[in-house]
Amino acid sequence: MKKMIKKTIFLTILGMFYICAVFGQSPVSLETAIQQACNDITSKLAMGPRVALVSYNSTNELSAYVLREMMNVFGRNRAATWISLQDTERALNAINRRTTDDISDADARQIGRNLNAGYVITGALVQVSGNYRFRTKMIYVSNGTVQASSDILIADNAQLRQLLGIAAAVPAPQAPAVAPVQTPAPQTPAPAAIPAPTSVRNGTYTFYPRPQATRAGVGVDAYIVKIVVQGRYMVIYLTNLARGMGGRAHPGYWYLSNDLLTNLDRPSQTYQKVSHRDNPDGNNSGETLSYENVTATRFSLETNWNGQVIFSEINLANAEYEP
């Protein structure tokens, strides 16, 4: 009898600790929640397993953003082999599912087996009592046990609302103040607004200074010299020099890289390179990455430059344009 009473007291205290841990959180940003969830997952991984990031149940924009940012964090961890989002998406398409769906543990494990993965990761953004919670879990494909999980309270801010497609609140109109009647002064018509470009114009976009790539937040010797758009093709010229002519192609293994280009104004829109070329203008002239049918004018680029790096923002509006 005494043992049962002690066990009951122990379980009650344990439950109180769990409630305090989950419901006593202070809201954090979406980026902080992503980093915390990734750290929880990688801390549970042994060396060498294949891991697939299967889904994040939310809107198209938020799901694409979360999956991309989690892969950026995971890519810096060498303890596991991370299966590309493109391969995972193909496996989902084969069973008529999408990365935004609420994937059951059984379906996630089946996708993991199809990808020869040891672990699969799923997640969702849920609303509980008016608060948003960022949830993830890592499942062991072999037996279905949950190896790691997170449940993080995140701040409801403008970025989150934009990714969720929630319009900002419009303040209620106020009654106009009564003012004395005045003779209106002649006004000069305001200049017509210049419409934003809907496509990328043909021509050469040269950057001064050159956009620099980073790895784990630290700059590396990888720069974009210029971008040439011709017809349906966009060609990005890269070098290891911050200024001047020449420069070598990167020493990494480009064929191991996805070279993913992401539209920053529409994160769900991504592009894969169609070709790669070293020294396009002769020896020591860098390299080029070619893409097809790109409509974005502000984008990021993830590539392999002696290790995975990212150009966090490339804006054609900041380049010198020559038709």
**Would you state the pLDDT for residue 123?**
95
Series of mean pLDDT values for 10-residue runs along the chain (323 residues): 48 46 70 87 80 91 91 82 91 90 92 93 89 93 92 88 75 62 63 53 93 87 92 91 74 58 89 83 80 92 81 92 92
Query: Which own/partner contact pairs does 212-220 have at CB distance under 8 Å and 24+ positions apart?
Result: 212/242, 212/311, 213/301, 213/303, 213/305, 213/309, 213/310, 213/311, 214/309, 214/310, 214/312, 215/76, 215/307, 215/308, 215/309, 215/310, 216/76, 220/305, 220/306, 220/309
CA distance 73 to 30: 14
Task: Count Cβ atoms within 10 A of the Cβ of residue 87 and give its class: 0-12 exposed, 13-18 middle, 19 or more buried.
Answer: middle
- pLDDT tens figures, 49-61: 899 999 999 888 8
Specify the pLDDT at position 300: 93
Q: How far apart are CA 39 and CA 175, in angstroms?
A: 52
Tokens matching residue 252 = 């990494």
Is the separation of the CB atoms in 108 and 139 below 8 Å? yes
- Residue 44's CB is within 10 A of a number of other CB atoms, namely 13
- Give the H/E segment covering residue 311: strand 308-315
With b meaning 16 or more CB within 10 Å and e meaning fewer, what string describes 302-317? bbbbebbbbbeebebe
Return the CATH class of domain 19-164: alpha beta
CA distance 87 to 52: 9
Q: Residue 110, Cβ neighbours under 10 Å: how many? A: 16
Cα end-to-end distance, the chain, whole Å: 87
- The helix (H) or strand (E) run that includes residue 84 is none
Q: What is the pLDDT of residue 36?
A: 86
Q: What is the pTM of this model?
A: 0.48
- Tokens found for residue 201: 């114009």
pLDDT at 186: 64
Separation between Cα atoms, residue 154 and residue 30, nearest integer Å = 6
Find out whether 265 and 319 touch, Cβ atoms under 8 Å: no
Q: Which of 322, 274, 316, 320 is nearest to 295 (CA)?
A: 316
In sequence order, the 6+-apart residues with CB closer than 8 A to the CB of 15 are none
- Within a 13 Å sphere around the CA of 199, how many CA atoms are in the beta-carbon half? 11
Tell me how far apart the alpha carbons of residues 100 and 15 are, in angstroms, rounded to a whole number: 32
What sign does the CA torsion over 273, 94, 96, 106 have?
negative
- Find out whether 114 and 97 touch, Cβ atoms under 8 Å: no
Q: Within 13 Å, how many C-alpha atoms sit on residue 299's CB side?
A: 23
